[in-house]
Every structure is written in C-alpha cells, then in structure tokens.
C-alpha cells in the first residue's frame, strides 16, 4: 500500500538540541498505520525565510513555530498558510498578542481562576513617537504609584506585560524598591502583581498537545538546576488543578505548545504566568524531562497528520464564559466543566487510543536512542555550544547522570 507522505516544517531561531532530537526520533519512527489501515510516512525539514507569494502553495502539512513571536516575516507566512492552505500550526499566530501575558491574565480572571491582584501602569518614559507629547498632555491622567502599591499590598512583583525569560522582573518589598524598579522600566509597559508569599511549591507545567508534564521548579537556582526530579511534590488534588489550568488556557487560546507557572499554597493554586510563545525545550534545562518532551511532540504531530485533525482558529470564548457565569456553580464545578471542554478540544480520548494502537513502539524507539551513542553525542555537542570550555566536563557529567536516570526509570516502567 502506498503511504501518504507528510512533511513537517521547523521554524527555528538559535535552537539546535531539540530539533536534532525531533528529527532523529521521527526518522526512527518508520511508517505508521492509521486507525483506518492507511499507511503514513513522515519527513521533517527546517523552514527557510524568503519572499513568498500570497497564492504560493506551501510544501508543509504541519509547522512547529519557534521564531515568529519576534520575527514578523515568518509570522505573516504562518498566517497566510493557516488562512489559505490549511497548514496545521503549533502555535496559532493569531493569538500572539495574548501571549504578551496581559490578555491571558484577563481571560483567566474572567474564567474565575485565582490570579493574584494585578494592575497595569503607564510607561515610565515617553514613547519614541512624535504624537506622544500631545496625547500625554491632553489625556494622560496623573496617578499615585505608591497608592496603587499600597492597595495591592507588599510584597509585589513588577514585570513587563509581555514577559519573556524573566526580563525586567523585580520583587518589591517597599516604596523605595517600587520607585527604583519603575524608574528602571523605561519604555517597558509594566504590571504590578501581588506576590504569593509563603507558597509551598512552584510548579511549571509543559503542555504539548494533549499531554502535560508538571515539574517542580526552583526559580532561585541556576537554569540547569531549576527543574527538580520529583514525582510526588503535589497532592493529587493540587496536581489535577495545575494540569487543568494549563490545559484550559491552551484550549482557550488554541495553543498546543505552551508552559504554565503556578504557585501552590496550602489548598490554593495561583496561576502566575501561562503564556509562552517559545516554551523551554532545551536539553540543558529540561535534562531528565527532555526525552518526554521530544516524544510528546512527535506523538502530537503524528496524531494530527494521520487523523486529519484540522486547526481551530476560532476561539469560541462564549463556551468558556458560559461556564464561568453559571449561577451557583462552585470553583470545583467550573474546573470540571473546563476540563471537559479541554478534553474535547484536544480530542484526548482519541489521541490516547491512537498512541496505544499506532505508536505503541515509540517508547522503545526513544529509550533505545537516549541510551545510545547518538543521544550522548547530542548531549556533548549541546554542552560544548552552551558552556565555556572549563565547565564542559561538569555539565556533561551532570546531564549524563540525569538523562541516564530517565533511561533507567523508563526501562523499569516498560518492564513492569
């Protein structure tokens, strides 16, 4: 039987580790039989940036985007192939503005999540725009920054409304720190957000399609130590809520590759950051969790292409708001209803059935590669490209230890 060929395009910036891993695993996957008996073959290619006609037909069936959040030419190409050609995208280029955090805060507050009190304050310094002086003189209202901070309550965080790699984030405990941070913000547009003090644990969840991995995050540690290998750091109820929140924001905005940060204090779960156009997929930071991430990405892409899943560009926000506005519904009732919507969006049951029947061999494929010399070479190459020469041995040993632990755990899991 002739196999249907599917071409996956990678739109990349400076990353090299996970694309090499993705290309290797997809190459080892072989042909896949769909639920209907059809045969499917997969290829992957790195997308180049060049002029394109708006009626040009793209070669790709699916594109994984890691670049267009800052590079506008490929962003417009993504919009064109989504609107005109039905190319499946990870992620939607039509909600990038929401990935500047502000709209995501607003949406999740509207849905009743426990987002800390947040205020958007005007720019500290005038914008580089000839119209600014007139507009500011006529329409900008004076405001009392201290009064806003007092109303929110110290301690608080000042952070850019568009976020990104913890740029410009300050923890503020008093008025002098408040004014120093605001004066330093320049032309960055800033949120003030109530700090969640005395939280028990910081959880960071990485979602890829219908799968989510919740990891214990240690923000005060260097990047290679921020993700702790800890399989039982959340109570079952908190773990369910953290997963539901991450999946909810993704289904709401039609994001299928995103990360979510939540603070857990007692029985309360506070989402503080959950819009990331380019979530962390690096070997050097994810280490133990890196094989899971690559496997989940391969599985979701193959599922989308084999089953003919169509991109949903419309947000259908009214369905979510109807749950939020349900009279008498408790927070738990709403979370359960949101979970049903997200399961429907991600087609979770069909996805897991597909993985069991059509991708049952993928676990062994990934384990075999991670335990072999090809992965070790990727690990060594990555360390050499990231760290100074005098730190190579240290970080090679560090990553070998953690990924070796994953291989041992995965081998035990598959034998059980």
In this prediction, residues 355-369 reach a mean pLDDT of 97
**Which tops the pLDDT comparison, 101 or 409?**
409
In this prediction, residues 318-322 reach a mean pLDDT of 96
Per-residue confidence band for 194, with pLDDT thresholds at 50, 70 and 90: very high
In the beta sheet, which residues pair with residue 11?
65
Closest CA to 293 of 279, 281, 278: 281
- Using DSSP's 3-state secondary structure scheme, residue 101 falls into coil
Could you give the angle at the alpha carbon of 357 between the alpha carbons of 355 and 360, nearest 5°?
Answer: 65
Taking only the tens place, the pLDDT of each residue in 225-239 is 999 999 999 999 999
Q: Is residue 171 pLDDT above 70, yes or no?
A: yes
pLDDT at 322: 97
Q: Is residue 380 pLDDT above 90, yes or no?
A: yes
Taking only the tens place, the pLDDT of each residue in 300-317 is 999 999 999 999 989 999
pLDDT at 165: 64
Q: Is residue 135 pLDDT above 90, yes or no?
A: no
Instruction: Determine which helix (DSSP H) or strand (DSSP E) holds 335, and give its type and residue range.
Output: helix 331-346
Sign of CA dihedral 344, 350, 355, 358: negative
Q: Is residue 156 pLDDT above 70, yes or no?
A: yes
How far apart (Å, rounded) are the C-alpha atoms in residues 263 and 34?
Answer: 40
pLDDT at 198: 87
In this prediction, residues 195-211 reach a mean pLDDT of 95
pLDDT at 95: 86
- Using DSSP's 3-state secondary structure scheme, residue 56 falls into coil
Instruction: Determine which helix (DSSP H) or strand (DSSP E) holds 246, and give its type and residue range.
Output: helix 236-253
In this prediction, residues 367-391 reach a mean pLDDT of 98
How far apart (Å, rounded) are the C-alpha atoms in residues 82 and 77?
Answer: 9
Q: Is residue 127 pLDDT above 90, yes or no?
A: no
Q: Is residue 130 pLDDT above 90, yes or no?
A: no
Instruction: Please provide the average confidence, as pLDDT, over all residues in the chain.
Output: 94
Residues 6+ apart with CB under 8 A from 355: 299, 303, 362
Ramachandran class of 256: left when φ > 0, alpha when ψ lies in -120 to 50, beta otherwise = alpha
Burial of 178 (0-12, 13-18, 19+ CB in 10 A): buried
In this prediction, residues 355-365 reach a mean pLDDT of 97
How far apart (Å, rounded) are the C-alpha atoms in residues 327 and 305?
Answer: 40
pLDDT at 76: 95
Per-residue confidence band for 164, with pLDDT thresholds at 50, 70 and 90: low
């Amino acid at each position: 039987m002739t196999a249907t060929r599917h071409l996956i395009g990678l739109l990349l910036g400076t990353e090299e580790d996970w694309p090499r891993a993705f290309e290797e695993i997809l190459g080892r996957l072989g042909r896949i039989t769909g639920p209907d008996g059809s045969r499917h073959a997969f290829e992957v290619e790195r997308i180049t940036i060049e002029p394109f006609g708006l009626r040009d037909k793209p070669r790709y069936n699916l594109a994984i985007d890691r670049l267009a959040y800052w590079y506008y030419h490929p962003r417009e190409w993504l919009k064109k192939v989504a609107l005109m050609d039905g190319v499946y995208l990870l992620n939607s280029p039509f909600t990038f503005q929401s990935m500047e955090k502000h709209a995501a805060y607003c949406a999740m507050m509207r849905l009743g999540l426990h987002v800390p009190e947040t205020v958007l304050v005007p720019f500290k310094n005038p914008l580089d725009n000839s119209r600014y002086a007139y507009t500011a003189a006529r329409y900008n209202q004076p405001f009392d920054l201290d009064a806003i901070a007092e109303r929110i309550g110290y301690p608080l965080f000042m952070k850019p409304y568009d976020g990104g790699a913890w740029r410009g984030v300050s923890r503020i405990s008093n008025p002098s720190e408040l004014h120093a941070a605001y004066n330093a913000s320049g032309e960055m547009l800033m949120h003030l957000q109530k700090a969640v003090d005395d939280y028990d644990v910081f959880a960071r969840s990485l979602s890829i399609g219908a799968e989510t991995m919740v990891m214990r995050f240690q923000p005060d540690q260097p990047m290679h130590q921020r993700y702790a290998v800890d399989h039982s750091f959340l109570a079952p109820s908190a773990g369910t809520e953290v997963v539901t929140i991450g999946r909810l924001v993704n289904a709401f905005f039609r994001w299928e590759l995103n990360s979510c940060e939540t603070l857990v204090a007692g029985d309360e779960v506070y989402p503080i950051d959950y819009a990331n156009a380019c979530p962390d997929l690096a070997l050097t930071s994810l280490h133990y969790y890196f094989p899971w991430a690559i496997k989940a990405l391969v599985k979701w892409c193959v599922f989308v292409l084999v089953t003919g899943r169509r991109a949903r560009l419309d947000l259908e926000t009214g369905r979510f708001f109807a749950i939020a506005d349900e009279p008498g519904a408790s927070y738990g009732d709403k979370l359960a209803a949101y979970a049903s919507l997200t399961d429907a969006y991600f087609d979770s049951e069909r996805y897991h059935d597909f993985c069991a029947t059509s991708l049952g061999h993928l676990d062994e494929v990934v384990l075999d590669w991670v335990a072999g010399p090809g992965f070790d070479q990727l690990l060594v190459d990555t360390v050499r490209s990231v760290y100074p020469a005098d730190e190579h041995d240290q970080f090679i040993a560090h990553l070998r230890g953690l990924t070796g632990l994953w291989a041992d755990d995965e081998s035990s899991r598959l034998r059980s």
